C-alpha cells in the first residue's frame, strides 16, 4: 500500500511546467508518481519523454488518447494528422514510440486513507470517453463509476480540476500540467494520501512561453499565449459539454 502518490496528467509536452511540478513532487516525498496520459503531444515532445524515461521504476504510466494517436501516426508514416499529436509524432524515434506504446489503460493502487484508487485518462474503459467536466450531469459520472469497484477514480483528459461525489462514489480530475483550462495560469496536479490535495504549481510563465515560441511546433503561437493566459474553466466547460452533446449552460 502506498502512503503518498502524485498524479500528473496532460503534460502536453510543456517541459518547463513538468520540471516545476516534479521539483515539488520530490519535496512532497511521494512513494509513487502516476503520469495520467497525454504526456508529449505539444511543443517539446522529445525533451518531455526523455525526462519521463528517467522515472521508470518509480512511476507508472496511463495511456491518453494523444499518446495513442502519436503511436498510430508513427506507425503509419503517410497518415495526415493535423491535431496536436501530428507534429510531435513525427519527432519520435523508435525508442520514444515504444515508450509511449507501453502505457496501460489504467493504473490501480491502494493508498493509505483512500483505499482502492483507479487512475485513468478519460474513464475506466476508454482513453477518450466519457467527457466529464465540473458541470457534467451526475448520471454520466455514475455510469462511468459503475464500471469499476475502486473507491476513487482519478482522471484527466478535460484539463480541469474537480472533485465530484455521486451516489457515494468519488471521481477527481487532477487537472493539466501543460495545458490547463483554469482561471489562473499554472500547472495543476494532484497529491493523494491520506487525503486529497489538488495542487497548482507556479513557474516562470513568460520564460516558458518564450521557450514554446522557439520550437517548431505548428501551434506554438497559441500554445505560448495559453501558458500566460489559459482558457477559462467556464469557456472549456461550455466547449466540452457541447462536444458531448449536452446542453450547457442550461
CATH number at residue 127: 3.60.21.10
Among 81-90, 91-100, 127-136, 198-207, name the one with the lowest average pLDDT: 81-90
250 within domain boundaries: no
Residue 81 has pLDDT above 80, yes or no: no
Note down the domain range covering 32.
5-243
186 within domain boundaries: yes
CA-CA-CA-CA torsion for 153, 154, 157, 161, nearest 10 degrees?
A: 120
How much of the chain exceeds pLDDT 90, in percent?
94
Name which residue leads in pLDDT, 158 or 247: 158
Instruction: State the total domains in the chain.
Output: 1
CA distances from 248 to 149, 217, 240 (A): 30, 32, 9
CA distances from 50 to 92, 187, 196 (A): 11, 19, 29
3-state secondary structure of 144: helix
236 within domain boundaries: yes
Mean of pLDDT values over 38-60: 97
Residue 43 has pLDDT above 90, yes or no: yes
39 within domain boundaries: yes
Residue 82 has pLDDT above 80, yes or no: no
249 within domain boundaries: no
How far apart (Å, rounded) are the C-alpha atoms in residues 248 and 132? Answer: 13
Contact 142, 167 (CB under 8 A): yes
9 within domain boundaries: yes
How far apart (Å, rounded) are the C-alpha atoms in residues 52 and 104? Answer: 15
Q: How would you classify the pairing of strands 187-192 and 5-8?
A: antiparallel
215 within domain boundaries: yes
pLDDT tens sequence across 168-215: 999 999 999 999 999 999 999 999 999 999 999 999 999 999 999 999
248 within domain boundaries: no
Q: Report pLDDT for 250.
A: 66
pLDDT tens sequence across 104-136: 999 999 999 999 999 999 999 999 999 999 999
Residue 48 has pLDDT above 80, yes or no: yes
Q: Report pLDDT for 42.
A: 98
Residue 94 has pLDDT above 80, yes or no: yes
Amino acid at each position: 500500500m502506498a502512503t503518498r502518490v502524485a498524479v500528473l496528467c496532460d503534460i502536453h509536452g510543456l517541459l518547463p511546467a513538468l520540471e516545476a511540478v516534479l521539483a515539488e513532487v520530490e519535496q512532497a516525498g511521494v512513494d509513487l508518481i502516476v503520469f495520467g496520459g497525454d504526456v508529449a503531444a505539444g511543443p517539446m515532445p522529445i525533451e518531455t519523454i526523455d525526462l519521463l524515461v528517467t522515472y521508470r521504476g518509480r512511476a507508472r504510466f496511463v495511456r491518453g488518447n494523444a499518446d495513442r494517436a502519436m503511436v498510430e501516426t508513427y506507425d503509419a508514416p503517410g497518415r495526415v494528422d493535423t491535431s496536436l499529436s501530428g507534429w510531435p509524432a513525427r519527432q519520435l524515434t523508435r525508442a520514444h514510440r515504444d515508450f509511449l506504446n507501453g502505457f496501460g489503460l489504467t493504473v490501480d493502487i491502494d493508498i493509505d486513507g483512500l483505499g482502492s484508487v483507479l487512475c485513468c485518462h478519460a474513464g475506466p474503459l476508454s482513453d477518450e470517453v466519457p467527457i466529464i467536466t465540473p458541470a457534467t450531469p451526475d448520471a454520466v459520472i455514475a455510469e462511468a463509476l459503475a464500471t469499476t469497484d475502486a473507491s476513487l477514480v482519478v482522471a484527466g483528459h478535460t484539463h480541469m480540476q474537480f472533485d465530484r461525489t455521486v451516489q457515494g462514489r468519488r471521481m477527481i480530475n487532477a487537472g493539466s500540467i501543460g495545458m490547463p483550462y483554469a482561471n489562473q495560469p499554472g500547472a495543476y496536479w494532484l497529491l493523494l494520501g491520506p487525503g486529497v490535495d489538488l495542487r497548482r504549481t507556479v513557474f516562470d510563465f513568460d520564460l516558458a512561453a518564450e521557450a514554446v515560441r522557439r520550437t517548431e511546433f505548428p501551434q506554438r503561437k497559441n500554445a505560448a499565449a495559453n501558458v500566460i493566459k489559459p482558457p477559462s474553466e467556464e469557456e472549456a466547460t461550455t466547449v466540452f459539454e457541447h462536444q458531448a452533446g449536452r446542453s450547457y449552460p442550461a
